[in-house]
């Protein structure tokens, strides 16, 4: 169903979100290339025109240096690690195209891409630090307000574990991963609600620090 949605939208896949699967649940969904952003003001795709906030999840993003194509033999962790060009601090933008997603079964949410509506790419991390980033102090501060701090923890412990799983999940289905694609693997602090149009500073402990603001499109930029 995801592949059919992608075909109907006519959008190239710029990456994937993944998590280790649970009972009867696969956590894998495409991230469309036009929704990837590195801009100081990130446009939030599929934003409700009446919405004043955006939902984001603080994550790490793995950028691939070369393809991991479909093949019969399973990929080893070493092969997947060798395919990673860089690791970045990132914010997943979360929104559903359903009017009432909470009332729907998981399969419907999976078809919609598990509420992924975009990804903001932040600065690159030191590869050694990123490899060990199972937990860190996460701090964010809206301009002019008091900072908030939580102990961020990756939901699967190892942030690369879902990447290893995804490489073989796609391999088995004849899809594979491509050079330049980005993979995110889980939020360190659940969902954060941030206002549109205001600058926010994020601090991933000693890993990365960055500023970003979010805005809505001036006109429809993606297929409905």
What pLDDT, in 10s, does the model give residues 64-123? 999 999 999 999 999 999 999 999 999 999 988 888 888 888 888 888 878 788 999 999
Residue 134 lies in a domain: yes
Domain count, the chain: 1
Residue 182 lies inside a defined structural domain of this protein: yes
pLDDT number for residue 169: 95
Instruction: Give a yes or no: residue 224 inside a domain.
Output: no
Provide the residue range defining the domain that includes 65: 2-215
User: Per the domain annotation, does 220 fall within a domain?
Assistant: no
| Rounded-to-integer distance, Cα 68 and Cα 29, Å | 17
Per residue in 167-218, pLDDT (tens digit) is: 999 999 999 999 999 999 999 999 999 999 999 999 999 899 999 999 877 6
Here the CATH number for the domain that contains residue 86 is: 3.90.850.10
Integer Cα distance of 211 and 137 in angstroms: 17
- Residue 220's pLDDT band (boundaries 50, 70, 90)? very low
Instruction: Give which of 204, 168, 162 is closest to 184, Cα–Cα.
Output: 162
Task: Report the b/e string of 99-131 with b at 16+ CB within 10 A.
Answer: eeeeeeeeeebbebbbbbbbbbbbeebeeeebe
For residue 221, being part of any structural domain is answered with no
Does the pLDDT at position 47 exceed 60? no
């Amino acid at each position: 169903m995801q592949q059919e949605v992608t075909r109907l939208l006519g959008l190239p896949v710029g990456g994937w979100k993944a998590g280790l699967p649970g009972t009867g649940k696969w956590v894998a969904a495409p991230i469309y290339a036009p929704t990837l952003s590195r801009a100081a003001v990130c446009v939030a795709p599929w934003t409700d025109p009446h919405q004043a906030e955006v939902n984001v999840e603080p994550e790490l993003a793995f950028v691939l240096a070369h393809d991991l194509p479909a093949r019969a033999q399973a990929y080893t962790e070493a092969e997947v690690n060798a395919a990673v060009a860089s690791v970045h601090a990132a914010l997943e933008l979360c929104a559903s195209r359903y009017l009432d997603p909470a009332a729907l079964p998981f399969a419907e949410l999976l078809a919609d891409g598990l509420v992924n509506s975009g990804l903001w790419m932040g600065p690159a991390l030191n590869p050694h630090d990123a490899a060990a980033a199972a937990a860190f102090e996460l701090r964010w501060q809206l301009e002019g307000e008091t900072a908030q701090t939580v102990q961020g923890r990756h939901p699967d412990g190892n942030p690369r574990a879902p990447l290893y799983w995804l490489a073989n999940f796609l391999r088995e289905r004849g899809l594979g991963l491509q050079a330049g694609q980005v993979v995110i693997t889980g939020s360190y602090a659940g969902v954060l609600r941030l206002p549109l149009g205001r600058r926010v500073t994020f601090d991933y402990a000693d890993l990365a620090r960055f500023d970003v603001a979010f805005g809505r499109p001036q006109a429809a930029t993606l297929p409905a």
